[in-house]
Each structure stands twice: as structure tokens, then as C-alpha cells.
Chains A and B, each alone.
Chain A
């Protein structure tokens, strides 16, 4: 059940260029959240009214983890959070990535930059079931990579400039990989819109199910404002607009369109 509550910052560390990793103690949310779900963080008294949505990047005891990139005013405020700081939160919000009943399914995680956040949580859940996914993570350059090593997955790191891992975009390397896969694949993706559009142009074999976690500007996160819509295809949502905060943020790639 969603709740509004106050969390306490346990740690807030810089892990890469403009990228921070925060641990927030908030038992009510940590207890029940699923990978793919997000929280709203509120900034009371700000002239910028909207709460900011952040994927839950993992759970540690009574705390949730947030991996975030400083891109504007509120994330700048967050980067200054000190241990002990109280934060107003709403969550857990939205739907989640799912683990298939089918034991033969191979899991592939595909992240662009801080898009790694929800996939790191999913990787933890898979590890609990003794499943080791392939985890592709790409960034422009080494200093923008949120993670560079991982024991719970087969990590494949890419950078556009080749400063770390394989040179080129994460999509290019992923395309080479997926060609040779025979087993059914659950592909789970989170990254910038450009990455999602690139995915649409790849022709996948039938045995690949693709789940993407989307980002849209959100005013409420609760399905109240109808602001966070994504255009859908004729499938599940009948070509209507779906709400990223409530119907998503995780969608089947075939159900959504990106041509805005």
C-alpha cells in the first residue's frame, strides 16, 4: 500500500561525475517495494512545486537506495543532503519488472547511465532466485558510469569513447549479443528516450519479451493529474494514452510509441 512518510538519509555519496547514491531509511516503503517501482520526493516550500520521481535502486534493511544524476535544481538540492536529513516521500509507486515462471528464460538488463537504478534492484531480486542476468550498461564516457563491476550479474560495460569497457553505444553491443541467443529472453530496459527509440528499430526474434521503464514529467505520481501520458499502440491499451505513473513505469515495448 502506498504511503506518504518521512525518511531519514543514512548516506549520500558521489559515485561518478554528477551521479550520487543515497540510502534513505524508510521502513514502510522498504518493506514492500518491488523492482521497477519508484518514489516521489517532495521539496516543501520550493517555487518548483512538483515532487520528483526516482526509481528504487535497491533495498538494504529498512532503507531504500536511490541512484540519481544531478541535472537541475532539485537534484542539486539532493546532492547536498547530509546524513540524518529528513525527507518527505511517497511510495512505492507504479508497477514492476517481473520474473517469469518459465525457468528456461534468460534475463538481460540494458541500462543507459542512471537508467541502471531500477535494474540494479531487479538484479538483486533475480539473485535471490539464483538467477544471474546479463547486465549491459552504457554511458558516453567512463566518468558517467554509475557502476563498473558487479558480482551478481555478467556485467558488460560500454562507453561511446571507449574510455572504459567496450567502445560504442550499449545498443550496438547488445544487438550483437542478442543475435546469438537461442533461449527465450526477458529483456528489461531503462535509459534515455533515444535508447528506447533505437530499440524500436531492432528486429527481435519472437522469443524476446521487452519491458521498458519510461520517464515522463510527473505532477502527482498517483494518477490524479493525467499529465504523464505515453501514446500506446493498438494492443493492450487500445491506442489510448496510458499513465506512466500508474499503468507503468514498466511497459511492454510493443505497447508504446515514442514518436512525439
Chain B
């Protein structure tokens, strides 16, 4: 039996390295008829804010070559409805549950964490400092080094729970941002969130999504994600959770070799909702082929 488990430190152990990416898997309950959610190492829920958000007007999504652009605008049900309607389902899952939080202000982040800290079933928080589609807050936290430092410190003070900061690729120096997160004693970084993207209808001359510029995801961004992970790996020791265009088992191994301790599946959930089964099968085969006792052994082992 191959050992796919991954130890992310500070008591967070995953049965396998594959998580879902925030905003691409709802709260897990929507897909539970189609996929066995517990096959994932864990799920990361849609960005949660203190108050409900209705999100941006349509059109919100557009298909682009090997990718898509979205400007959902962090539409979510808000903390209160989340605890009432989603917690009962999430709390009975056997895989890990990581709550992604988005906020407009430091106070809002703190308020959400305060309300969630009593919920024993939550394994970690992932802080979304990098959403490109909301006008206020959002990406400002993830693009200004001082703002990021200040926020990460504050959140570290607030909670003992496993803390992941999700980085934006829309910065000049992602390694510097990763370093700041490590300095402030967060437990891991996840990367990357979506890249800036745009598309225009040549007949109507209108942008194909409402916010003009949105977030690009899918296989098109995979090489960019790998490059960012390699850069960050050079300067930090805390675990990196790799995200960006992963669609199969080969991609997962590639991300791990580049330095990711675990990975998240995003856009692939839309075009192959059962990808997790194929991915786990591939990893098993790969481990057998290369005689790997533990998957943990390949992290960062690319000859770069």
C-alpha cells in the first residue's frame, strides 16, 4: 500500500495531497452526488465574508484558450448562513475542511476568524488576500508588502489554528510576499490565485466579462504557477500549497517536484468533476513505478 499522506506541519496531516481550490467546489454538498468528497485530502470552501455578498453582475465567466476568466466577485452566503446551512454537512466529512476567508478590512477578517475559532471541525484557514475581482480591499492586501505584513501579523495573533495565506501572482516579486508570510509565522502559503485576464467581443466591441479585467485560470496558467512556486521555494521553508491549471496526476507530481507539499484543483472541477479519481490512481502508479514509499519524499526534488 502506497503512502500518499502528507504532513503539512503543526498537526495538519492530509490523507493525500489533493485539495479543492476555493470557489470551484462550492461547499462540497453541491457535488456530493457526483463525487465522493472524502476522496480528497481536504476541501477548501468558497471565500467566506462576514456579510453575504451577491457578487458581480453577469457576464461573469468566459472561456479562453485552455482556460477561463471569471469575475464572480466573491459571491457567498455570509458567515451566519454558512454556520447554519453548511456547517452541518462540512463537519461530518472525514477529509480535512479548510475555510477560505475574504474581507474588505482587517477587522472583518478578525471577526470571521473569531466566529469560526470555536468550530472544532475546521482544520485550517486560508486567507484570500488576492482576489482580482472586487474593487475594495481584496487584492490590495496581497499586492502591498506592508499591508500584507500587517494583516498576517494581526491574524497570527488572533488564532492558533493552521493559517494559510493565499498569494496573488499579480505582483512584481512573489518570493518577497511569501517571505513576509513566513516571517509573520503563518503556517503555509498557497499559490497562485488567478492571473489578470481580459477578452473582448470583436463584433460588439464589448468586454466579455462585466468587470473588463477578471481572473484567468485553468491549464493556460500552469507554467506561470510552477514558475512562481519555484521562486517562492528558494526563499521559504514553510509548506507551499500549489494551485494553477492542474488537470491530472502528472500535473500534481510536477507541482510537488517544483516544491509544493500539497495541491488544489480549481477549474478542472468544472470540466472533469471526477478528476480526483484519475489523479489518485496515477499517483499510486507513479509511486509504484519509482518505488516511492512515501509521497512526501518527492517534494521539491526537481533538479532545478
Please report A residues at the B interface, Cβ cutoff 8 Å. 1-4, 42, 44, 47-51, 90, 216-217, 219-220, 222-231, 240-241, 246, 260
Contacts and interface: CB of A to CB of B under 8 A. Distances in A.
B284 to A, nearest CB: 21
Contacts of B55: 226, 229, 241
Contacts of B270: 49-51, 219-220, 224-225
A71 to B, nearest CB: 14
B223 interface: no
A1 B35 CA distance: 12
A2 B33 contact: yes
B24 interface: yes
A232 to B, nearest CB: 10
Contact of A217 (B30, B62, B219, B267): B62
A217 B271 contact: no
B72 A231 contact: no
Given A48-B63, A227-B60, A222 B70 contact: no
A71 B85 CA distance: 41
Given A217-B61, A226-B75, A227-B70, A42 B25 contact: no
Interface string B41-64: 000000000000011011111110
Contacts of A260: 57-59
Interface in B1-45: 23-26, 30-31, 33-34
The size class of the interface chain B forms with chain A is: 20 to 34
B66 interface: yes
Q: Which interface residue of A51, A223, A225 has the most chain B CB atoms within 10 A? A: A225
A92 to B, nearest CB: 11
Given A1-B33, A90-B34, A224-B24, A42 B57 contact: no
B68 interface: yes
B65 interface: yes
B271 A49 contact: yes
A51 B271 contact: yes
Main secondary structure of the interface of B (DSSP, over half): loop
Interface in B61-89: 61-63, 65-68, 70, 72, 75
B70 A225 contact: yes
A223 B58 contact: no
B231 to A, nearest CB: 27
B62 A2 contact: no
B269 A224 contact: yes
Contacts of A216: 58
B93 interface: no
Given A48-B63, A50-B270, 15 more contacts: A3-B34, A4-B273, A4-B274, A47-B65, A49-B219, A49-B270, A219-B267, A220-B270, A222-B30, A222-B31, A224-B31, A224-B270, A225-B70, A226-B55, A246-B30
Contact of A229 (B24, B31, B60): B60
Contacts of A231: 57-58
In the complex, the 7 A-B pairs of residues with the closest C-beta atoms, listed nearest first: A227-B61, A220-B270, A219-B270, A223-B30, A49-B271, A2-B33, A226-B72
Nearest to A48: B63
B272 interface: yes
Interface of B: 23-26, 30-31, 33-34, 54-55, 57-63, 65-68, 70, 72, 75, 218-219, 267, 269-274
A3 B271 CA distance: 14
Most buried by A among B24, B70, B271, B274: B271
A217 B60 CA distance: 9
Nearest to A3: B34
A223 B77 CA distance: 13
A223 B218 contact: no
B21 to A, nearest CB: 11
Nearest to A217: B61
Contact of B54 (A1, A44, A50, A241): A241
B66 A49 contact: yes
Nearest to B63: A50
Nearest to B67: A49
Contacts of A246: 30
A50 B31 contact: no
B33 A225 contact: no
A222 B273 contact: yes
B205 to A, nearest CB: 16
A42 B60 contact: no
30 contacts: A2-B33, A3-B34, A4-B34, A4-B273, A42-B271, A44-B272, A48-B63, A49-B67, A49-B68, A50-B63, A50-B270, A50-B271, A51-B271, A90-B273, A216-B58, A217-B59, A217-B62, A219-B61, A220-B270, A222-B31, A223-B26, A224-B31, A224-B270, A226-B55, A227-B60, A227-B70, A228-B61, A231-B57, A231-B58, A241-B54
B178 to A, nearest CB: 28
A220 B218 CA distance: 13
A90 B65 CA distance: 23
B25 A224 contact: yes
A231 B63 CA distance: 21
Contacts of A49: 63, 66-68, 218-219, 267, 270-271
Nearest to B62: A217
Nearest to B71: A227
